[in-house]
Amino acid sequence: MPIVFVLFLSVFVFLPVIAARLLLALFALKLGAQPLTVGLIASTFSFFPMVLSVVAGKLADRFGSRWIILASTIAGACGMLVPYFMPGIPALFIAAATNGIAFAFYAVSLQNDVGLLSTPANRAQSFSNFSLTGSVVIFTGPLMVGYSIDHAGAAITCMYIAVLSLIPMAMLVIGGGVLPGGRRSAAAPAGSFRETLSDRGLWKLMVTSSLAISGMDLFQFYMPVYGHQLGFSASAIGFLMAMFAVAGFFVRVILSRLIVAFKEDKVLAYSFYVSAASFLLIPFFKTMAPLAVLSFVFGVGFGCANPIITMLMFTRSAAGRSGEAMGLRMTANHLTRSVAPAVFGSLGSAFGLFPVFWINALMLAAGGVISRVKRGH
């Protein structure tokens, strides 16, 4: 089935880039970088999805996703070879930029493919399954990176990640024909981009999506920084990040049933509150066991939020403009991703990590409040 191909492809497309994000942070720390530099690397990754995602969505609507995803995967792999051949902070910024460009194109394309290959009856389950693949990746990537850094070094790990990208490349060349094609014609579908922007419901979804993604990103970048300050090994930090993924996997298994029982808005709101509570408590603990529990709790919250927002965004999009709507969401997400790490990195360098965790907890709590407000049209 095409949807099964998309799910397997998603695992092998997202695994290198998720692994790269943690790897670049740990590599920078090993080179002596301050939290501000780590935040700037994160911002570099996010800048290109911010400016390219709407374009990526429009291209996916018109031409389909097969060759877009293939080209993006090649670009990301080439970027990861730069720190391998030229280890240093500038090379990490180059790798972050190329992976950001790649992510802009294949993330929008794959999310759109899931929606296009689903029906209204099974769409919630399809997006839940798509998010399950994300949990597998978020679990596997940190463990792989932590183990590889401890045993082979950060530079060699960059090469391993580039080689891993050969798997999705082969999948796309051999079986990529099952992916949805575009409309091909230069004629645009009904409606306009201005009409998409005027939908207040979509704007509310974009705000909640940005808050959720910001929370996840800050967790993924500053939990490693916190663990590094506490003297944890790369493998131990990888384990903490994997606990977040394990929680996301299990909650997404039952997500469609939670939605049926409690409706999307209620589940979404409480997912924000759970994530906020875990962020608030992290700075009070300095040992592995409680931090692993809090990582798991954060994963429970985020595991619900992201697939619900993605599903609602696709459902609310105009006919023939689903890729554009997904791209708009990605633009909003990465605007936050570009600004937040640099801002919070500055706070972390100036005042320590406590304000990073606590301010983000307030932002996540605000996301819960916003998600309970009825969406307009």
Question: pLDDT of 235-258, one tens digit each?
Answer: 888 888 888 878 878 887 888 788
In a domain, 217, yes or no: yes
In a domain, 181, yes or no: no
- Asked if 324 contacts 196 with a C-beta cutoff of 8 angstroms, the reply is yes
Give the mean pLDDT per block of 10 residues along the chain (377 residues). Answer: 87 90 88 82 80 80 85 93 93 93 86 82 78 80 86 93 94 88 55 58 75 78 83 85 82 80 83 89 90 91 80 71 71 71 69 77 85 56
In a domain, 182, yes or no: no
Tell me how many degrees the CA angle 19-209-279 measures, rounded to the nearest 5. 65
- Asked if 149 contacts 31 with a C-beta cutoff of 8 angstroms, the reply is no
Taking the C-alpha atoms of residue 138 and residue 133, their distance in angstroms, rounded to an integer, is 9
Confidence at residue 376, expressed as pLDDT on a 0 to 100 scale: 44
| Domain boundaries, position 361 | 2-174+196-372
Residue identified by tokens 């384990």 is 239
The closest of 278, 336, 347, 323 to 38, measured between CA atoms, is 347
Residue 272 is encoded by which pair of tokens?
Answer: 């924000």
Total domain count for the chain? 1
In a domain, 187, yes or no: no
The closest of 103, 104, 83, 106 to 24, measured between CA atoms, is 83
Taking the C-alpha atoms of residue 258 and residue 335, their distance in angstroms, rounded to an integer, is 30
350: domain CATH number is 1.20.1250.20
Taking the C-alpha atoms of residue 44 and residue 335, their distance in angstroms, rounded to an integer, is 11
The closest of 16, 5, 171 to 98, measured between CA atoms, is 16
Residue 53 is encoded by which pair of tokens?
Answer: 């995602």
Confidence at residue 303, expressed as pLDDT on a 0 to 100 scale: 78
In a domain, 260, yes or no: yes
CB environment 133-146: b (16+ within 10 A), e (fewer): bbbbbbbbbbbbbb
Confidence at residue 195, expressed as pLDDT on a 0 to 100 scale: 60
In a domain, 179, yes or no: no
Confidence at residue 199, expressed as pLDDT on a 0 to 100 scale: 61
In a domain, 190, yes or no: no
In a domain, 180, yes or no: no
H-type alpha helices, 64-192: 66-85, 89-116, 123-152, 154-164, 166-175
Taking the C-alpha atoms of residue 84 and residue 79, their distance in angstroms, rounded to an integer, is 10
Confidence at residue 82, expressed as pLDDT on a 0 to 100 scale: 95
